[in-house]
Amino acid sequence: MTTAPDPRRPRPVSGDRTAAHPVLDAADVTRVLTRMAHEILEKNGGADDVVLLGIPTRGSTLAHRIAEQMASVEQRTVPVGSLDVTLYRDDLRLRGVRALGRTELPPGGVDGRIVVLVDDVLFSGRTVRAALDAIGDLGRPAAVQLAVLVDRGHRELPIRADYVGKNIPTSLRETVHVLLAEHDGRDGVLIGPADLSRQESRQESRQESRQDTSS
């Protein structure tokens, strides 16, 4: 049985890199994440009861980075977990099977907590919808909030982010590449022309962050 490439494994950014242009550089990414950490603390009156759940792969990395920032402000650890939504997606038939990411809740779970979902790119909203379903099966949080590094628009569901690193209006014929040092050797956000092969239909363009950084 073979599958789509393992999203846990770092993959080279593809597409026409030479045609892609930077939107955020490494310093921008750090600054944006610091701001988001402060916004989360501000909105929730501190880190009490806050749990960050990153959506693998890059969302998990971002969740850890934001949690570190929050921890340094609050002088306490902030629980971080990961939430793989693959088994909750509604587009398996279209996208093919993929290896599962890790789902790992911090000790204490999500019951009664404020869960902040973290992902790299918000696009159609379908990943977030799947994440909400997944959380519902894991427990009953007091509230669920959403933090994304990039909001590129083109929502297909009534979903909006509570914390946005940067709004980047895009056309459907463009691709957003989120680079993180842990996976890609450096931080940054690029925008470039989409693979024409993946732009044939609206359905395929629904593919979210992971797909946006791969071919």
Partner 1 sequence: MMRHLLSAGDLSRDEALLVLDTAAEMARVAAAPVKKLPTLRGRTVVNLFFEDSTRTRTSFELAAKRLSADVINFSAKGSAVSKGEGLKDTALTLEAMGADAVVIRHAMSGAPHRLAGWVRGSVVNAGDGTHEHPTQALLDAFTMRSRLGRLEGLQVTLVGDILHSRVARSNVLLLRTLGAEVTLVAPPTLIPVGVEDWPAQVSYDFDRVLPKSDVVMMLRVQRERMGAVYFPSVREYSRRYGLDAARMAMLPPESVVMHPGPMNRGMEIAAEVADSPRSTIVEQVTNGVSVRMAVLYLLLGGAMGGASE
| Interface positions with partner 1 (CB under 8 A) | 1-3, 84, 87-97, 99-100, 102-103, 133, 136-139, 201, 203
Min dist CB 13 to partner 1, Å, is 24
Helices (H), 44-184: 58-74, 92-95, 126-138, 181-184
Nearest-approach distance from CB 6 to partner 1, in angstroms: 8
Nearer to partner 1, 109 or 153 (CB): 109
Tokens of 172: 């459907």
Query: Whole-angstrom Cα distance, residue 161 to residue 1?
Result: 37
CB of 40 to partner 1, least distance (A): 26
- The dihedral region occupied by 99, where left means phi > 0, alpha psi between -120 and 50, and beta the remainder, is beta
The type of residue at 14 is S
Give the residue with the Cβ less far from partner 1, 34 or 103. Answer: 103
Q: How far is the CB of 138 from partner 1 (least distance, A)?
A: 6
For tokens 């030479």, name the residue.
18
Q: Which helix (H) or strand (E) holds 41?
A: helix 26-43
Is the Cβ of residue 68 or residue 91 nearer to partner 1 in the bound state? Answer: 91
Q: b/e string for 65-101 if b means 16 or more Cβ within 10 A?
A: bbbebbeeeeeeebbbbbbbbbebbeeeeeeeebeeb
Please, which residue, 65 or 89, has the CB nearer to partner 1? 89
Q: At closest approach, how far in Å is the CB of 102 from partner 1? A: 7
Give 28 or 91: the residue with its C-beta nearer to partner 1. 91
